[in-house]
Amino acid sequence: MQTNLADFIRDTDKGREADSILRSCVHCGFCTATCPTYQLLGDELDGPRGRIYLIKSVLEGETATEKTQLHLDRCLTCRACETTCPSGVVYHRLLDIGREVVDEQVGRPPQQRLIRRLLTAVLPRRRLFTALVRTGQLFRPLTPGRLKTRIPPRQDHLDRPYHQRQRRVVMPEGCVQPGISPATNAAAARVLDALGIGVAATPADGCCGALRFHLGAQEAAERDMRRNIDAWWPAIEDGAEAVVSTASGCGSHIVEYGKLLAGDTRYRERAAKIADLTVDISELLVREEKTLTAKLRQANITAESRGRVAFQSPCTLQHGLGITGAVERLLRAAGYDTLPVPDSHLCCGSAGTYSILQPALSRQLRSNKLKALTSGDPDIIATANIGCQTHLQTESTLPVIHWIELIDRALADPGYRIDTEHPELSQTA
Ligand code: SF4
Ligand code: SF4
């Protein structure tokens, strides 16, 4: 695609990056067919090719309007379009640049600004968010129906091993996960311990920066990233072999630290090193598959199925990190049946804060996703990202958990089966 970027951006780093991305697009439209918002709304401007066209026009000097902003706001940043693009167009980076320019030109009404400020102020603050969740849990029994589903029940089975291990990793705690699902990292630490891998303590880390970054608070997002680099670096210098993420939304952001902090001379080398070391926990377990399988074989003494699992592969896992099939394989090795899920490439509608900012589209996508996930009559739904877990759980009649909890159960208990009457894992602890 030919470009002629306007003076205000042409000779900037972002302008050069956007120009190169725009030039790689051949306008074929293959991406449109797999775009969830195009499928729902049927408007070319609510698909990737249309959004690329809108961003190109603005970067070439056309004035952005509220309509331009709306079409960009409706994008989930799910990156399904990148997976189907034959030309390797890095759409999400173009969208980041386009959104920043459009927001500067168009601005936002006071109500939208307030909601966005609240989201950037509360969600990334782990202690504050956890305190709010705990308060909600205290009043949960008294809360009426629909509101109750929005408050996650308190989890148990949170014990973690504290063995000194020669092999160690960093495991980011994140921001909302410790409040909503502390069982995830506890289970991950136990599984890693069974493989002889310890988790280095990095108590000063926090939100990976994705939440603020995607809400247009770039400077605050960069502060989040620098704080994490400072928190993790001593452990990395001390020999930690990987940064292991249990939330694919965070993992897919941390692997971009090197690019996002490339202009920061103090942090860029450490940011790039951390990005290189970052893996989703499924990638690490696949690397350790031989040891894991041997331990699972010892644990699965009866060789009967432990239960039927529908795995929801988050967009950040399959499109962002490019991981497909690994979790299902690990679950099968642990003795579970994994069920086929139709349209598994489509987003569940969570997409960071999308469920709050675009509630109608988000609800529609969730309803479609739950229909697909339950079509094979599973006992439980597993996922790999806290955002999807929370979003799906709000409407799901089945428990939605991180898949690592199922591996943990299988390792810990040879006879473990998902209890179809009471499938919540915490009740079987
Ligand atoms: S982004 Fe890729 S698939 Fe979509 S129109 Fe451009 S080249 Fe084609
Ligand atoms: S990121 Fe997702 S919603 Fe956005 S254009 Fe691409 S496929 Fe569509």
Distance CA(291)–CA(279), nearest Å, equals: 18
**How far does residue 289's CA lie from ligand 1's centre (Å)?**
36
**pLDDT value at position 422?**
64
**pLDDT value at position 312?**
98
**pLDDT value at position 300?**
59
Residues of the chain with pLDDT under 70: 299-303, 421-429
- How much is the pTM? 0.94
Distance CA(164)–CA(174), nearest Å, equals: 23
Cβ-based neighbour number of residue 324 at 10 Å: 14
Query: Residue 310 corresponds to which tokens in the numbers above?
Result: 């529908």
Query: Residue 144 corresponds to which tokens in the numbers above?
Result: 């009426």
Cβ-based neighbour number of residue 153 at 10 Å: 14
Tell me if 405 sits within 8 A of 425, measured CB to CB. yes
Is CATH 3.20.20.80 what the domain over 289-428 is classified as, yes or no? no
**pLDDT value at position 23?**
97
**How far does residue 44's CA lie from ligand 2's centre (Å)?**
12
Ligand 2 probe mutation, 25, 30, 37, most atoms within 8 A of CB: 37
Tell me if 174 sits within 8 A of 247, measured CB to CB. yes
- The contacts of residue 344 (CB under 8 Å, 6+ apart) are 312, 313, 318, 372
Ligand 2 probe mutation, 44, 79, 252, 364, most atoms within 8 A of CB: 79
Query: For the chain, what are the domain ranges?
Result: 7-106, 126-283, 289-428
Length in residues, the chain: 429
**pLDDT value at position 66?**
97
- The contacts of residue 189 (CB under 8 Å, 6+ apart) are 160, 161, 171, 199
**pLDDT value at position 277?**
98
Tell me if 157 sits within 8 A of 365, measured CB to CB. no
Ligand 2 atom closest to Cα of residue 92: 1
Q: Which residue has the tokens 């670096």?
A: 233
Would you identify the CATH topology of the domain 7-106? Fumarate Reductase Iron-sulfur Protein; Chain B, domain 2 (1.10.1060)
The closest ligand to the CA of 85 turns out to be 1
Q: Using CA positions, which residue lies closest to atom 2 of ligand 2?
A: 78
CB of 91 closer than 6 A to ligand 2?
yes
Ligand 2 atom closest to Cα of residue 315: 2
Q: DSSP secondary structure string, 226-243?
A: HHHHHHHHHHHHTT---E
**DSSP letter (8 states) at residue 34:** G
